[in-house]
Amino acid sequence: MLGGAGILLGVAAVPAQAAEVSYKTECIPPAASGLDPVEGTTKVEITAPATAKVGDEIEVVWKFVQAASKNPDLIVLPKDSVKPTGTLKASGAQTADIAMEGPQKNPEIPKGGDMVLSDMTGKVKLTTAGDVTLTPDAYTITAYSTDTKCTPQEAVPAAATIKVTAAEGGSTTSGGSTSGGTTTSGGTATGGDTGGTTSGGSTTGGSTTGGGTTSGGSTSGGSTSGGSTSGGDDGQTDFAGKTVATSFACTSPGPAKIDSTATINAKKNGGSYDLTVKTAEGVMNSPAPLPAGALKPSMVITVGGDDSGSLKVEGPANKDALNTGDPVSLGDMTGTYKPGADGKATLSPGDLTIVVTLSAGSDPITIPCKATKTAVSLELDVQKQAGGVSGATTSGSGSSSGSSSSSSSSGGGLAETGANDHGGLRALGFVAGTAILLGGAVFVFLPHRRVR
């Protein structure tokens, strides 16, 4: 609907203008790729109304004729895996930074191929009569949840000028019509600024489902039931934990912070306990295709109270391949707790590890995430068992997937892969870093979804 660029929202259509400009640009690839900055030329066509009135909200289209950088010779970018965002600067009679955004829509882009980016759109409300010029500025190319940031390296010529005239007679605000569900960005500037206009409701406020829905405490504290009568004397075998909030700090190329929830349940098995750690299901949509078996989680469970130490639980890899937009869930993580002391033992979620294997035979990539916020999920009355956990500790990072090895080489994110620094690793690091950000995003949204 490129013709929409020439339509004033709420008023009649006016002639549109389209102009192409080019400018020298530097693009900085994601750190995980190990690639140097790229300098090139960006060519952009901006389409906007030729004339408008004060009070009009207009839509502008940014079309990429040529992006400054090509796809590196590392990976093929799948169909519908690349999303552009950027800033268009308004100056002259009115100054503003117009947020531009395009859909995640592209053909498959081969290694070394031209970046094919979707058209970006944005909106601005005109406030002052006079000439308003539109000039392209910085833009970002997002693929697999990692960003390549491109900034102008010279003064950029104006791409379009809108002649804005004063509104006639203060009347026609025509009720803020339709602005409703139209594409994100832009509309935020509307507010009901023009006095008593009836547009108010168009801000569709609630759409941002504010995170407040964190039904966190819904599993009311009373569920600390706890196995408080010694695991077996009364015949109880199943012990339900409560859902607790957790946060993790991950090493590069993982996300800097993950906010999550976890629930630890136990089933008595002789003198030991079979543990199941549950997370949420369908917590996000996959931003790009991922093969079956790509994502495998594990977690350290910290033992406290009268017992001490830690143990590891592991979850299965994703059974099915994921297409772009498919919901992503982590499987239940399981392990065994063997008490090492008598009394009350507490179990809390600890460090998280996500291992990504992108194809059969490729080196697994391990992302360790240290727990920075946690709480007791389950309390059990236990009796000491031979060979129990007391005092034994389990390391979270790198301990899953034995073959991933050599996480001891500490030089930054890619040192965790167990491979040498060569071209294949850089490609793997780029994809893995982005795929692991996906894994991180799974946890980021956990508080907003129900626990299975």
Range of lowest pLDDT (25-29, 142-146, 228-232, 392-396)? 228-232
Tokens 């406020």: give the residue. 205
Task: Using alpha carbons, select from 129, 165, 376, 167 the residue that is nearest to residue 266.
Answer: 376
Tell me the C-alpha distance between 62 and 148, whole Å.
18
Element (H, E) at 86: strand 82-92
Provide the 8-state DSSP code for 387. T
pLDDT band at 71 (very low <50, low <70, confident <90, very high): confident
Tell me the C-alpha distance between 67 and 276, whole Å.
48
Tell me the C-alpha distance between 350 and 276, whole Å.
14
CB 219 within 8 Å of CB 377: no
Range of lowest pLDDT (158-172, 301-315, 434-448)? 434-448
HSE-CB for 409 with a 13 A CA cutoff: 14
Tell me the C-alpha distance between 96 and 87, whole Å.
10
CB 22 within 8 Å of CB 186: no
Extract the tokens encoding 420: 């040498």
**Is 278 strand, coil or helix?**
strand
Structure confidence by residue, pLDDT tens digits, 286-297 = 556 678 888 888
Q: Per mean pLDDT, which of 70-74, 148-152, 172-176 is the most reliable?
A: 148-152
- 281: exposed, middle or buried (C-beta count within 10 Å: 0-12, 13-18, 19+)? middle
| pLDDT for res 235 | 79
Provide the 8-state DSSP code for 94. S
Question: Does the pLDDT at position 254 exceed 60?
Answer: no
Please state the length of the chain: 452
Provide the 8-state DSSP code for 229. T
Question: Does the pLDDT at position 344 exceed 90?
Answer: yes
HSE-CB for 335 with a 13 A CA cutoff: 23
Tell me the C-alpha distance between 150 and 100, whole Å.
14
CB 27 within 8 Å of CB 115: no
| pLDDT for res 238 | 94
